[in-house]
Structure 1
């Protein structure tokens, strides 16, 4: 009988251990518990009458300093940490690298009431750089961050040495093309349903062309842990507000006014089009054609250079880091 009890106890312990291991990791409302690749610092400031704290990484040149600074702007579904590979490459080449998490995202403040706009996020970023005595920088943005980088270059041309947009959102006006508007409350309800499975399915389809690699799991777990943590309500609310910002604040009509050296890097297989799921099928199939949108955008921005990755999707810096970084560093 004693032997049976011991076997039963061992089995229960094994099952308990398996269950714990199988439980998804969750993170705090400012991504507490997630390990960033470099130490996080804080820029505390007041915006719209409220105290804000912007998390950022500030990485010194790993090799001989070239006197230049690169600022990396994350996408809506990523964080500054996702730039880990690019940070290493830029730092090794002599760049100082500053990587903020925007207000409303990742390790930064999630405000209860905030007017989200690309102008505001650009101003926040400029204030951060000013606090670090950085007068001019190469601004590199991916996805939503590319849209923000364009707004930054338009708002602060004298502070922008070069503009690099990697598969930026906003190369087309989804509203004008027939994507119906969704209210913030509707978007909020959708965001509350976000899970690791839904994040992976979306990225598998749009980012990686149906080919999944184990190294992508960390970024899915990062986002899912934020959505599933104790701050999930405000996380979902801020994500809904920024989705509205992306839909209602197109920057493509101002591309002709960009006056800084511009590099556009596009995965030709990218089909990202926020809100396409709300559009009629005949409209949805015309959206997110980055192979064509990249060419149109390069023509619209004076003197812009286009680098196309023919076999890559929305996140070339993650999907094919060696190919991406080789092209980036040659261009810089």
Structure 2
């Protein structure tokens, strides 16, 4: 039985939405989404993990159904502190943490800041070693100019071909329901501001010099045809994190939870069993 629930957890700067699966189980797993998406991207993986685990899928502050305050930092370090507060509020001692893309770098921050909150760490196509947003873009975002650019772009109805290209998915994957659910966050009038503010506050790569300090049991998963995160980032993690387990998915891209949810869920579950038999 997969018992689901949804609620909001208050943190210092707003309320964070939680979508949960497998509420009848005890062992907690938390899945963190990446940029410009929300908990929906984890639906297939979460449903499979929920056969054995209690699965929490939070919307990062500013994303999905969570609050979107305009006066806070949207850096990865700030987001990590909020997720730490959520884990503590859930009163589950420690979680198996999984992060995708930006969520992976946020998860790495948590592993460094509060390793006692984690039972294991799974990084799916994470960032963390690249340089951040180019200075002119960050400067324009801080001036407030990018907000208008994103607002204009989002006011135009997104086409299935655009979403397929953005997610590196085959066009047949983009069903009307998928299109509606994936683009839902873009319909929120505050979303353009949040994305622009995320660029303005970007701190990608600030933990690169500390990655070697991650001592939580860690699994790194990467698709060999990922067009978003270069293979160099995978190699840098591989060479830097001690006792790292790795899995390369041939012929897979960046959004692995959509491309191959069954395989990804199996990888996560197998690693959890290895960490906590």
TM range, smaller chain: 0.7 to 0.9
TM-score normalized with structure 1 length: 0.72
Query: Structure 1 108/246 Cα, relative in aligned 2: closer, same or farther at 3 Å?
Result: same
Q: Which residue of 2 aligns with 1:24?
A: none
Matched, 1:54 2:31: no
Q: Which residue of 2 aligns with 1:327?
A: 267
Instruction: Return the offset for 1:58.
Output: 2.7
Which of 190, 194, 203 is 1:238 aligned to? 194
Instruction: Return the offset for 1:321.
Output: 1.7
Matched, 1:289 2:200: no
Query: Structure 1 243/223 Cα, relative in aligned 2: closer, same or farther at 3 Å?
Result: farther
Query: Structure 1 198/289 Cα, relative in aligned 2: closer, same or farther at 3 Å?
Result: farther
Instruction: Return the offset for 1:249.
Output: 5.4
Query: Structure 1 265/77 Cα, relative in aligned 2: closer, same or farther at 3 Å?
Result: same
Of structures 1 and 2, the larger Rg is shown by 1
Matched, 1:110 2:60: no
Aligned-partner Cα distance in 1 for 2:180–2:100: 19
Query: Structure 1 318/120 Cα, relative in aligned 2: closer, same or farther at 3 Å?
Result: same
Name stretches of at least 5 consecutive residues in structure 2 with no aligned partner: 273-277
TM-score normalized with structure 2 length: 0.85
Aligned-partner Cα distance in 2 for 1:73–1:249: 18
Alignment of 1:1-332 (within 5 A): 38-47=4-13, 52-60=14-22, 65=25, 67-92=26-51, 94-174=52-132, 180-182=136-138, 183-184=140-141, 185-192=144-151, 193-194=153-154, 195-197=156-158, 200-201=161-162, 203-205=163-165, 207-208=167-168, 211-215=170-174, 218-228=177-187, 231-232=188-189, 234-246=190-202, 250-272=206-228, 288-290=229-231, 292-332=232-272
Contact preservation (8 Å) 1:142, 1:167: yes
Q: Which residue of 1 aligns with 2:275?
A: none
Instruction: Return the offset for 1:111.
Output: 0.3
Instruction: Return the offset for 1:289.
Output: 2.2
Instruction: Return the offset for 1:125.
Output: 1.4
Secondary structure of the residue aligned to 1:40 is strand
Query: Structure 1 200/70 Cα, relative in aligned 2: closer, same or farther at 3 Å?
Result: farther
Aligned-partner Cα distance in 1 for 2:122–2:39: 16
Aligned-partner Cα distance in 1 for 2:200–2:181: 23
Instruction: Return the offset for 1:323.
Output: 2.4
Query: Structure 1 147/196 Cα, relative in aligned 2: closer, same or farther at 3 Å?
Result: farther
Contact preservation (8 Å) 1:206, 1:313: no
Contact preservation (8 Å) 1:266, 1:314: yes
Contact preservation (8 Å) 1:75, 1:143: yes
Aligned residues: 265
Query: Structure 1 131/191 Cα, relative in aligned 2: closer, same or farther at 3 Å?
Result: same
Secondary structure of the residue aligned to 1:165 is strand
